[in-house]
């Protein structure tokens, strides 16, 4: 199943979009129907996977982080004040857990200074098998992404799946001022665009 993007831009959210379905599932569950929880888990697990993998966790650690996130939701569902907030709550919880795992177990290399790495050095992403199975478009884009600094890769992956993550926490994790997140996102996207245009010439 495709991951739901956690876009919550403005008021133009439609009831039929991914987040509308998420809010509905949460409401159903909280009203006492366990089918709502199942739907919520099936809808958002692929997105949570993407978010925690952006921290460079191994696949095993990423699974732990996703499972812990769902356990936390079940234990603390009362603290989610309104159904449309549940996606943001899960995003923060998952990323907090992923960050904790990188610190506690040293499961991920610390954030390196910005250096250009080649494909073989990029931590985390796909196994050689999944890379080989991916389509040409995805493989080509991945090669350019692999040339970006790690900070860019992580920032773009988080923002691709959660358009509005809490910037305070992200800034802390990426070791940059809160005010730099927006401009850095723009610079990273531009860098990627430049690489793609250079690569296609």
Partner 1 sequence: MTTDERALLADLRAMWEEIDPAPPDLATRALFRLEVEAVLAADTLEAELMRLEEPLSLAGARGAETASETASSITFSSTSLTVMVTVSPATAHRRRLDGWIAPSAALRIELRTTTGVEETRADDDGRFVFADVPAGLVQLTIQPTEGAAIHLAGPVRTPAVEL
Q: Name the residues that contact partner 1, by CB under 8 A.
A: 2-3, 5, 37-38, 41-42, 45-46, 49-50, 53, 59-60, 63-64, 66-67, 70-71, 74, 124-126, 130-131, 134-135, 137-139, 141-142, 145, 156-157, 159-161, 163, 185-186, 189, 192-193
Q: Which is nearer to partner 1, 5 or 117 (CB)?
A: 5
Q: Which is nearer to partner 1, 21 or 141 (CB)?
A: 141
Q: Which is nearer to partner 1, 100 or 113 (CB)?
A: 100
Q: Which is nearer to partner 1, 133 or 172 (CB)?
A: 133
Query: Smallest gap, in angstroms, from Cβ of residue 41 to partner 1?
Result: 5
Contact 95, 24 (CB under 8 A): no
Q: How far apart are CA 132 and CA 137, in angstroms?
A: 12
Distance of CA 127 to the CA centre of its chain: 18
Q: Which is nearer to partner 1, 14 or 113 (CB)?
A: 14
Which pair of structure tokens corresponds to residue 193?
A: 């665009």
Query: Smallest gap, in angstroms, from Cβ of residue 36 to partner 1?
Result: 12
Query: Smallest gap, in angstroms, from Cβ of residue 142 to partner 1?
Result: 5
Query: Smallest gap, in angstroms, from Cβ of residue 111 to partner 1?
Result: 19
Query: Smallest gap, in angstroms, from Cβ of residue 34 to partner 1?
Result: 8
Q: Please provide residue 56's backbone torsions phi and psi, each rounded to the nearest 5 degrees.
A: 80, 20
């Amino acid at each position: 199943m495709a991951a739901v993007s956690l876009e919550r831009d403005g008021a133009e959210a439609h009831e039929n979009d991914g987040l509308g379905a998420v809010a509905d599932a949460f409401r159903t569950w909280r009203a006492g129907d366990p089918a709502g929880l199942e739907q919520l888990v099936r809808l958002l697990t692929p997105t949570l996977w993407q978010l925690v993998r952006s921290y460079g966790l191994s696949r095993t650690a990423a699974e732990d982080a996703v499972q812990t996130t769902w356990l936390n939701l079940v234990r603390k569902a009362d603290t989610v004040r309104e159904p449309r907030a549940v996606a943001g709550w899960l995003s923060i919880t998952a990323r907090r857990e992923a960050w904790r795992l990188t610190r506690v177990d040293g499961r991920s290399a610390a954030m390196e200074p910005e250096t250009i790495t080649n494909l073989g050095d990029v931590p985390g992403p796909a196994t050689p098998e999944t890379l080989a199975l991916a389509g040409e478009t995805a493989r080509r884009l991945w090669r350019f992404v692999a040339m970006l600094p790690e900070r860019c890769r992580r920032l773009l992956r988080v923002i691709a799946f959660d358009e509005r993550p809490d910037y305070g926490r992200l800034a802390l994790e990426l070791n940059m001022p809160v005010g730099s997140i927006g401009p850095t996102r723009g610079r990273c996207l531009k860098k990627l665009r430049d690489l793609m245009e250079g690569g296609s010439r």
